[in-house]
Structure 1
Amino acid sequence: MRTRDPERKSRILAAAADLVARKGFHAVSIAEIGAAAGITGSGIYRHFDSKSAVLVALFDRVIDELLSDEQRILDTVSDLRSALDALITGQVDFVVDDRRLAQVYYNEINNLPEEDRRRLRRKQRLYLEEWVHLVGELRADLTDAEARTVVHAVIGAIQSPLFHNTGLPEARLRVLLRDAARAVLGLDG
């Protein structure tokens, strides 16, 4: 009897993220993803229904991890400013550590079936709503719409180096992105 490799699904997702980041969703075939993951292209269909399903699983995992980290922070950090700083650090870590994955999400979410795209966008909004809540608590001078706008500006600032090589060492990039996020939030003092 053949045993299933429990890491195979993760290898497929990692291979897909890398290939799609380099070539784009439409230019990558199932056979290429399989070869990069060390299996046949048809072997992918044991785990996923289609190439889009691979992308959906990849994006679900990303958003679920961000939501899980966010919930852990909110459950364990009682100081609002420290909680927001932890969220900033988590977003910076995602962008720096998982650059290819973040690029794929940014570039390819619109290539998903509409129902999956809507569901993922809802999860993304849930993630951002906690940021908006914290910013609203820390910046009583902002309306809800203003807090939401500031949060989107912060995420944009953190994600700004996704599509160019800064040439900076990762440690310095992390510091600059965290400092920029705090400045955009008006919490740098």
Structure 2
Amino acid sequence: MPLSADLIVENASILTMDPDTPRAEAMAIRDGEIIAIADRATVLEHKGSGTRVIDAERGSVVPGFIEAHMHLFAGAAELDHLQLMGIHGFDALCDAVRHYAAKRPDLSVLQAQGADYTILSATERVSRHHLDRILPDRPFVMAAPDHHTMWANTKALELAGLLRGKRLGPGNEIVMGDDG
């Protein structure tokens, strides 16, 4: 007699990630582990008196995703930051940053998100000097959409103690221009 399941999901479109059986219509779970994934009749053999059965109504069931690198908190905190997605060219960047800064005179550091790596142009890369021309007397940083690259003006670099660079652990880098 097959093991009795705690949960059966039936009438589903299940993506198994198994190349030999890429799809199934039902699955049985016991103690948090899948014990059967197959056609409905085969999986229902695991139904016991205490088994909860969920009709997926032909909905998709995909493997659980455990995202250990999620930016959930940071993403929520960034909702009030300046959003730069779709901004291109120095003048557009300048207008967006100055408008944002004018509406937030009390912020100690101004932050922006979504800065394309080619926000100025396909050939000109952003430097602190560009950002200094836009906002010379308030700390300003902007992040790329991947959250792994940030650009900062001189005030922000001074505030963070990074103006002349800093030694960092493996996998981190502060890119410095020839002028330091």
TM-score, normalised relative to structure 2: 0.23
Q: Identify the structure with bigger relative contact order (alpha carbons < 8 Å, sequence gap 6+).
A: 1
The structure carrying a bigger strand percent of its residues is 2
The structure carrying a bigger helix percent of its residues is 1
